[in-house]
């Protein structure tokens, strides 16, 4: 299996997960042109994509969805609540009939040789989900847009080979920044976004000897920066209640404007 972030940040998200025979995108929150460029760097095109999994309906996760769906007829897998929200908003333009495939939390489904398990996430959207994707004994997780985490989320992210985890903001930067008070409260709330510190604490519950890679993603453009996210998460891991140090693992920050390294598991 391969995991690669084509783009990850508060302004747009698109993640590639694939095997030798199957290629999927998790979210399409950047322009169709940028998605195509990212796929080309992976020696793929939109014609190779077997499915797009959509976590939720916010614009930074669906900006290029309509273009790709129309151009290539790619099936879109998402929850019923997200489909309803997308159709009400009308932001995707005309979508071919039958393109949406409704999924439900905790009900696995298959896309060729990949098994996908959607799980609930606490975020201020209609029916948002994260994803665990498995191929044989290999597994990767995508967990962003988390206002908080709990045992349910921890359980779904156990024993992964690789994980893309939200590390959205630094709390102090957010609190003293220029965002209006109501937006700050939304981000800090139980249905908002995961801070650097909380990302590190969650990661402490997920680490194991065989974990190969962690990508920190969905960084805020205004309230975070890559070095701060990396150092904060690494400090939580090294100082946390676990037997590991951050240097025991491959931890990187997924860029907003450029793709990450390809992680093979």
pLDDT of 82 above 90: yes
pLDDT value at position 30?
98
Closest Cα to residue 219, out of 152, 174, 263? Answer: 174
- The domain total for the chain is 1
pLDDT of 252 above 90: yes
pLDDT of 261 above 90: yes
Residue 101 structure tokens: 């495939």
Compute and round to an integer the Cα radius of gyration of the chain: 17
Residue 39 structure tokens: 């796929």
**Count of CB atoms situated within 10 Å of the CB of 43:** 7
Q: What is the mean pLDDT of the chain?
A: 97
Residue 246 structure tokens: 């951050």
Q: Does residue 94 contact residue 70 with C-beta atoms inside 8 Å?
A: yes
Q: Does residue 194 contact residue 233 with C-beta atoms inside 8 Å?
A: no
Q: How does pLDDT run across 203-220, given as a tens digit for each residue?
A: 999 999 999 999 999 999
Q: Does residue 216 contact residue 233 with C-beta atoms inside 8 Å?
A: yes
Measured on CA atoms in the order 176, 182, 184, 188, is the torsion positive or negative? positive
Q: How does pLDDT run across 217-238, given as a tens digit for each residue?
A: 999 999 999 999 999 999 999 9
Would you place residue 87 in the very low, low, confident or very high pLDDT band (cuts 50, 70, 90)?
very high
pLDDT value at position 95?
87
Q: In this structure, what CATH number is given to the domain that contains residue 235?
A: 3.60.15.10
Q: How does pLDDT run across 143-171, given as a tens digit for each residue?
A: 999 999 999 999 999 999 999 999 999 99
Q: What is the pTM of this model?
A: 0.97
DSSP string, the chain: -EEEEEE-STT--EEEEE-SS-EEEE---S-HHHHHHHHHHTT--GGG--EEE----SHHHHTTHHHHHHHH---EEEEHHHHHHHHHHTTT----TT-EEEE-TT--EEETTEEEEEEE---SSSS-EEEEEEETTEEEEEE-S-S---HHHHHHTTT-SEEEEE--B-HHHHHHSSS-HHHHHHHHSTTS--BHHHHHHHHHTT--TT--EEEEE---SSS--HHHHHHHHHHHHHHSSSS--GGGS-EEEPPSSS--PPEE-
**Count of CB atoms situated within 10 Å of the CB of 3:** 27
Phi first, then psi: give them for residue 46, nearest 5 degrees: -60, -30
pLDDT value at position 171?
98
Report the distance separating Cα 213 and Cα 55, nearest Å: 22
Burial of 75 (0-12, 13-18, 19+ CB in 10 A): middle
Q: How does pLDDT run across 92-126, given as a tens digit for each residue?
A: 988 889 999 999 999 999 999 999 999 999 999 99
Closest Cα to residue 6, out of 231, 263, 229? Answer: 263
Give the domain extent around 80: 2-264
pLDDT of 63 above 90: yes
Phi first, then psi: give them for residue 51, nearest 5 degrees: -165, 155
pLDDT value at position 254?
98
């Amino acid at each position: 299996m391969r995991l690669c972030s084509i783009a990850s940040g508060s302004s747009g998200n698109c993640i590639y997960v694939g095997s030798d025979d199957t290629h999927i995108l998790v979210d399409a929150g950047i322009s169709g042109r940028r998605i195509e460029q990212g796929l080309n760097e992976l020696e793929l095109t939109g014609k190779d994509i077997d499915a797009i999994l959509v976590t939720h309906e916010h614009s930074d996760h669906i900006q290029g969805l309509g273009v790709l769906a129309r151009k290539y007829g790619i099936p879109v897998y998402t929850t019923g609540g997200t489909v309803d929200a997308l159709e009400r908003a009308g932001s995707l333009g005309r979508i071919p009939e039958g393109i949406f495939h409704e999924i439900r939390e905790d009900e696995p489904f298959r896309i060729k040789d990949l098994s996908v398990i959607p799980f609930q996430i606490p975020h201020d959207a209609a029916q948002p989900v994260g994803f665990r994707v498995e191929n044989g004994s290999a597994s990767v997780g995508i967990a962003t847009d988390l206002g908080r985490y709990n045992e349910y989320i921890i359980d779904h992210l156990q024993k992964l080979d690789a994980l893309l985890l939200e590390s959205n903001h630094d709390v102090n930067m957010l609190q003293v920044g220029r965002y209006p008070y109501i937006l700050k409260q939304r981000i800090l709330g139980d249905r908002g976004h995961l801070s650097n510190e909380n990302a590190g604490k969650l990661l402490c519950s997920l680490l194991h000897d065989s974990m190969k890679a962690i990508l920190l993603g969905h960084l805020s453009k205004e309230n975070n920066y890559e070095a701060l996210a990396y150092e904060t998460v690494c400090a939580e891991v090294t100082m946390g209640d676990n037997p590991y140090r951050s240097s025991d693992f491959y931890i990187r920050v997924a860029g907003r404007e450029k793709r990450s390294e390809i992680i093979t598991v």
